[in-house]
Amino acid sequence: MKPEPNRWHEPTVMLPTPKERPSPRPMAGCPECARLVQLRKAAAMKRDSSTISDCNILLRMHGTGR
């Protein structure tokens, strides 16, 4: 039988959870990004999580890749 580890005083480590990643920012002046943001907003109202993540992927792709 192992002794119970004394963990009650460990500092809380704040880890970013994948689910709560910040939404990617649209590129300023990009009509495609503006369209994706509108689409994501509409999808959020319908709770269409697959469309929301599609929009996030596309926005993130534009934000990082060229």
Rule CB under 5 A: say whether 58 interacts with Zn ion. Answer: no
Rule CB under 5 A: say whether 30 interacts with Zn ion. Answer: yes
Rule CB under 5 A: say whether 33 interacts with Zn ion. Answer: yes
Rule CB under 5 A: say whether 34 interacts with Zn ion. Answer: no
User: SS3 for the chain, per residue?
Assistant: CCCCCCCCCCCCCCCCCHHHCCCCCCCCCCHHHHHHHHHHHHHHHCCCHHHHHHHHHHHHHHHHCC
Rule CB under 5 A: say whether 60 interacts with Zn ion. Answer: no
Site residues for Zn ion per CB under 5 A: 27, 30, 32-33, 62
